[in-house]
Structure 1
């Protein structure tokens, strides 16, 4: 049953296809647009010469148009153009649609196609197999039928969702900046370029094997009836987190008594990724912040258990983020399509360490940075969840908006 004031329309009744061919000037340079998947907007490609364009059919980008990448429309490669794209071009794979007067708001439609129902319709209009064979049929797209509120309600829904988008974008920028700041602190302080007490000449040269115990886990994800139940710290738990904490959700698995005794994680341990498909992902480190009962280190990981009287675990974790450490780990990883770090290479990795007091000061600053990042990650997750819930309710009519605001805006 349709919400009051809503109607079912075909897209061809509310949108008009626009295609303004470009007469290519052989002496000019052009900028093409691209569309990111998952509703993440337009991006601008590097300048290209007319000769590089060749015989490709290109069209002028029209502002305030709904634009799709027909190859990845099924993956929600849909966006709205703006004044920033005026003067740019798009290939025939990026059809553009402008709204018929007061029939629809293109930003409302973009948001709609970011919902599960919108994705389902884009897939219906994109017959074929996976990937590049699933090409959007433009006639099929124009025939899609969707339920829509009045033009004024569309605008109000657009404004509400754009408010969440602005908050999400601002939080993402703050998060990116906080991560850059932490990286700068690591490079300045953990490398010894900046010292709180004493100069770099007072730092000592050592190796990981001299200041810590290194254990390479062989505990896989399979559960065996003759083994004991454990919680498993997996590759992704380490790769995506600076800290291993008690409030994380760990996979349930089993392990032998010997494995449990050897690979149970304890507060103060540092865990690194030992194997990966890319050398850049080797040696990504997290430290165990909390004591978690029954938590065992999983396969493709190595435990670095520092001598706590010599090395602060937060400092040690940061060492693996240094540019010099990343270069060492990459050069000592073995493999062609999948790379692994030998235990010997881990033990022999060079490390420069100041006094434990200096490490503690550096660790306190790093922990402050990590706390800030953790808060922003939580804020971002909450905003995205709120928007997801709003999308579901607003586009189904389960939650209505006050159209008086949009009405006054239209009359202004």
Structure 2
């Protein structure tokens, strides 16, 4: 069903795209004009090639992302920019292209790319100019909320990083349960004296597991400082292949990586589980007791900058960096009392909770905006346009 008042037109007659301009690094002069490549703003120059407002997308290399410029800019030759909006609302065109599936027109070559002539031939639905403006206004409010949340998230992450640097080095001391600042001396401990390592399902990949009848959760990959049981995969493992089970308080380290920054990345199991195993990509470290190092604190200390650097330099190899258990056991840790460890872990856990809440909010905003944008740009959800310029919150008409 055709939306009332809408027309279908070639994209080329709605928004004419043009290839960007060459600008070698040797010819760039420091300035305030953003240089826009297929991946967004990649630098600044003293001269602009295009007037604001502008809409830019990738021509090859990175395609699918669309950028809106509110200042004069220089589009690089890896991009396509809208040379002529043909009287249409610029920000509406930005959302129209943002909702476009560029990958359908990607060249079948090693480097992804799109041809502007192919894009120009695509037919798109176009509402009247007043409706374009209202749609752009509504979606802009979602963009503002997303940008605000992204900034809050960035600030929270930076604050946590600074807090970790202070708390995990003793530069900042917290108060104990009696309201007295911790003051005891920190002590150097050798990791190998605190526990011992154990291996995962050596040589096994997900497709190599046996044909047992029970599906067992196993640790395949971890990206956070705490193992998230909700994301663990389950595989069919025969009883003969089972080795040491992971348990509460175990610390895990990646055994190898293509970069030294990733080798020895750690995560801690802070849940009590019935049965859980490791894949061969990592090994476990089990503390003899929690009298010197608390698992809650280990979660943060092994992700701190100083300890991460100390572990990364242990990685050896040419094409891949491998971590030796023997070398890792030599790692020195400067540890406060377990009481202070618990207090530090509590404070940093609260910071993590705030970050997680913002990440979840940001994800919801992006999903809601995407769903709304699809409805508005195909006319399934109409907006009310009148002379009184109604508030955005009341601007919908199904």
Q: TM-score, normalised by structure 2?
A: 0.83
Cα deviation, 1:93-137, whole Å, max 9, x if unaligned, reads 444323222xx223223223333xx11xx3455434241xx4432
Separation (CA, whole Å) in 2 of partners of 1:299 and 1:23: 47
SS of the aligned residue for 1:111 comes to helix
Give the aligned partner of residue 63 of structure 1. Answer: 52
Give the aligned partner of residue 398 of structure 1. Answer: 380
Shift of 1:232: 2.0
CA contact (8 A) 2:247 2:272 kept: yes
Q: 2:281 matched to 1:300?
A: yes
Q: 2:92 matched to 1:112?
A: no
SS of the aligned residue for 1:113 comes to helix
Q: 2:309 matched to 1:320?
A: no
Give the aligned partner of residue 339 of structure 1. Answer: 321
State the Cα RMSD in Å: 3.2
CA contact (8 A) 1:155 1:406 kept: no
Give the aligned partner of residue 214 of structure 1. Answer: 197
Give the aligned partner of residue 331 of structure 2. Answer: 349
CA contact (8 A) 1:272 1:301 kept: yes
Query: For residues 93 and 309 of structure 1, do their structure 2 counterparts lie closer, same or farther at Cα, with a shift above 3 Å needed?
Result: closer
Separation (CA, whole Å) in 2 of partners of 1:292 and 1:77: 42
**Which stretch has the larger CA shift, 382-391 or 11-20?**
11-20
Separation (CA, whole Å) in 1 of partners of 2:16 and 2:353: 50
Separation (CA, whole Å) in 2 of partners of 1:335 and 1:252: 31
Query: For residues 297 and 159 of structure 1, do their structure 2 counterparts lie closer, same or farther at Cα, with a shift above 3 Å needed?
Result: farther
SS of the aligned residue for 2:60 comes to coil
CA contact (8 A) 1:227 1:257 kept: no
Q: TM-score, normalised by structure 1?
A: 0.81
SS of the aligned residue for 1:271 comes to strand
| Structure 1 residues without counterparts, runs of 5 or longer | 49-57
| Equivalent residue for 2:256, pick from 263, 270, 275 | 275
Shift of 1:295: 3.1
Shift of 1:406: 8.7
Separation (CA, whole Å) in 1 of partners of 2:281 and 2:350: 29
Give the aligned partner of residue 33 of structure 1. Answer: 35
Q: 2:241 matched to 1:255?
A: no
Give the aligned partner of residue 124 of structure 2. Answer: 146
CA contact (8 A) 1:35 1:77 kept: no
CA contact (8 A) 2:20 2:75 kept: no
Give the aligned partner of residue 142 of structure 2. Answer: 164
**Which stretch has the larger CA shift, 307-316 or 290-299?**
290-299
Query: For residues 187 and 32 of structure 1, do their structure 2 counterparts lie closer, same or farther at Cα, with a shift above 3 Å needed?
Result: closer
Give the aligned partner of residue 129 of structure 1. Answer: 109
Give the aligned partner of residue 78 of structure 1. Answer: 66
Separation (CA, whole Å) in 2 of partners of 1:21 and 1:220: 48
Corresponding pairs, count: 377
SS of the aligned residue for 2:310 comes to helix
CA contact (8 A) 2:270 2:295 kept: no
Separation (CA, whole Å) in 2 of partners of 1:308 and 1:278: 32
| Structure 2 residues without counterparts, runs of 5 or longer | 175-180, 392-398
| Equivalent residue for 2:41, pick from 40, 43, 47 | 43
Cα deviation, 1:331-387, whole Å, max 9, x if unaligned, reads 110222222211112221111111111111111111111111121121122112212
Give the aligned partner of residue 74 of structure 2. Answer: 89
SS of the aligned residue for 1:136 comes to coil
Query: For residues 15 and 194 of structure 1, do their structure 2 counterparts lie closer, same or farther at Cα, with a shift above 3 Å needed?
Result: closer
Separation (CA, whole Å) in 2 of partners of 1:150 and 1:8: 11
Separation (CA, whole Å) in 2 of partners of 1:210 and 1:256: 34
Cα deviation, 1:139-181, whole Å, max 9, x if unaligned, reads 3322221112222222222222222222222222222222222
CA contact (8 A) 1:59 1:92 kept: no
CA contact (8 A) 1:71 1:135 kept: yes
Separation (CA, whole Å) in 2 of partners of 1:208 and 1:14: 65
Off by >4 Å, runs of 4+ in structure 1: 16-24, 26-32, 197-200, 258-261, 405-409
Map 1:155-194 onto structure 2 (within 5 A). Answer: 155-194=133-172
| Equivalent residue for 2:361, pick from 379, 394, 397 | 379
CA contact (8 A) 2:254 2:265 kept: yes
Shift of 1:79: 2.0
Shift of 1:227: 6.5
CA contact (8 A) 1:64 1:80 kept: yes
**Which stretch has the larger CA shift, 212-221 or 352-361?**
212-221
